[in-house]
Structure 1
Amino acid sequence: MRGLNIPRGVRQVLFRTLNTDKKLMWKKKFDTSYVGFMRDGAQWLVDNTDIKLVGIDYLSVAAFDDLIPSHLVFLEGREIILVEGLKLENVKPGIYSLHCLPLRLRGAEGCPIRCILIN
């Protein structure tokens, strides 16, 4: 994570990983080998950045082998919004404006959203 050089003040980061290269979001069968955060990577982001939103290109921001610990780091450490299931195949690294439009669901802990990324 340190090598990404995410500067202080950056509030939202989308991670385009090997999940996109493998086209995992287009496959019908769930793939447990997807790229996601382990607890220590999530903790590093919480401790060393100002990020309030983490987006990733598969169905979970947390690695399959570390689901609960990674999610807890993001959700208990401070209020970080997790955006999962992004299709980022045509998105190049860079600075964008991100707008997330959630469905309003009463009593839900999560909901579907439509994300708009503007270059």
Structure 2
Amino acid sequence: MEFKPKTYTVGDVEVTRISESVLDGFTLASLLPDWNKKSLTNEKNGVSSLISGEPAFLSTHTWLVKTRKHTILLDTGAGNDKEHPFTSYFHHQHHPILKTYIMLGLNRKMLTTF
């Protein structure tokens, strides 16, 4: 599963979520083993299906913030090919995030902060 970049406008600021990775190998029970199923009151948001064992989607993403004066890239810092021995999902990951930046027309010269 992949999420396309999504832009939100808050006042005169544009904030774009750029998906880096999407993990679907989790269930609510595996993420929250002490979850009290009896406390669930809102089934309209799909939470009940997560309890039944369906995958819960987790994502890491970069945020691109554009103001009148600045273009700021907020990155997770997880990065490709990094050591994450205690988090197998991120250990030596490799995602085409740089290609995504290029596809979006981003380049380092246009960033004021990252």
Is the radius of gyration larger for structure 1 or structure 2? 2
With normalisation by structure 2, the TM-score equals 0.27
Give the TM-score taking structure 1 as reference length. Answer: 0.26
| Bigger fraction of residues in helix | 1
Larger strand proportion, structure 1 or 2? 2
